[in-house]
């Protein structure tokens, strides 16, 4: 939990620095986050490459690895469908479109805004950001009570990048490949599933 709070603290600090424009203009105008992501993926790759247990897990799971993203898709869509029953102003279809973002807020919110409405787009943005933050904060609890794959399921599409470090820390390096695989599959499927659901609204 301490690690999660440290990550959240850095996020809040960055948010404050961005809002107050305390940093030099050249730094604010440049997108250094992509380089940070490149470095993160390099370090994770090195960690996986040097850890024999990672490959052992893949050999043992083999084709079953495909069930991880499938389970995330089914679980996410069923969960938001059930939750929509408590909301009078959002239909099951609209809730499913939001849930089909799988944490990929930057793309799903834009697509939903474009194909449906600004209001649902904002809901998609906020709900998928909350999913990512919840994964960063609660993965230690998810792993403790629901198993090693729980953080990966919670992270959704972000399991391949932003939530990967916290997942690896609490699930173990041997689950990094599964996390990256699941995240990549979900990221690819977001621009397919979201428009498909919106088409029937």
Q: What are the tens digits of pLDDT across the range 41-77?
A: 677 667 666 766 656 655 666 667 889 999 999 999 9
Instruction: Check whether residue 61 and residue 15 sit in a common domain.
Output: no
Residues 177, 124 contacting (CB under 8 angstroms): no
Q: Which residue did the predictor score with more confidence, 6 or 120? A: 120
> Within 13 Å of residue 65, how many CA atoms lie on the same side as its CB?
22
How many structural domains does the chain have?
A: 2
d(CA 125, CA 128): 5
Instruction: Check whether residue 66 and residue 148 sit in a common domain.
Output: yes
Instruction: Check whether residue 7 and residue 82 sit in a common domain.
Output: no
Which pLDDT value is given to residue 71? 95
Q: What is the pTM of this model?
A: 0.74
CA angle 83/107/127 to nearest 5° reads 30
Burial environment of residue 15 by CB neighbours within 10 A (0 to 12, 13 to 18, 19 or more): exposed
Which pLDDT value is given to residue 156? 95
Cα first-last separation, the chain: 40
Taking all residues of the chain, what is their mean pLDDT, rounded to a whole number?
A: 83
Instruction: Check whether residue 48 and residue 142 sit in a common domain.
Output: yes
């Amino acid at each position: 939990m301490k690690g999660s709070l440290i990550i959240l603290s850095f996020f809040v600090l960055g948010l404050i620095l961005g809002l107050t424009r305390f940093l030099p203009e050249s730094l604010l105008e440049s997108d250094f986050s992509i380089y940070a992501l490149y470095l993160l993926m390099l370090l994770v790759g090195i960690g996986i490459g040097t850890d024999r247990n990672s490959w052992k897990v893949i050999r043992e799971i083999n084709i079953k690895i495909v069930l991880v993203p499938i389970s995330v898709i089914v679980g996410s869509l069923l969960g938001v469908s059930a939750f929509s029953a408590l909301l009078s102003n959002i239909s099951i279809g609209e809730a499913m479109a939001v849930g089909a973002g799988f944490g990929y807020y930057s793309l799903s919110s834009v697509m939903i805004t474009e194909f449906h409405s600004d209001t649902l787009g904002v809901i998609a943005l906020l709900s998928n950001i909350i999913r990512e933050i919840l994964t960063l904060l609660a993965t230690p609890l998810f792993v403790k009570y629901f198993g090693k794959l729980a953080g990966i399921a919670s992270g959704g599409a972000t399991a391949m990048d932003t939530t990967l470090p916290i997942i690896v820390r609490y699930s173990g390096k041997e689950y990094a490949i599964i996390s990256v695989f699941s995240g990549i599959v979900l990221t690819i499927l977001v621009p397919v599933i979201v428009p498909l659901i919106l088409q029937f609204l």
